[in-house]
Amino acid sequence: MSFQRLWALIVGWALTALGIVGVLVGATLPLLVLTPVVSTLYIVTGLVALFFAYYRHALHVRTFDRVIGFVFVALAIAGFSAAGAAAGTILGVLPVVLGINVLNLAIGVISLIAGYALPPTEEELREAERERKRAA
Whether the pLDDT of residue 50 is over 70: the answer is: yes
Q: Three-class SS string for the chain?
A: CCHHHHHHHHHHHHHHHHHHHHHHHCCEECCEECCHHHHHHHHHHHHHHHHHHHHCCHHHHHHHHHHHHHHHHHHHHHHHHHHHCCCCEECCCEECCHHHHHHHHHHHHHHHHHHHHCCCCHHHHHHHHHHHHHHC
Task: Please give the residue range of the domain that contains residue 33.
Answer: 3-135
Q: Total structural domains in the chain?
A: 1
Give tens-digit pLDDT for 94-131.
777 788 888 899 999 999 998 888 787 787 788 778 87
pTM value surpassing 0.75:
yes
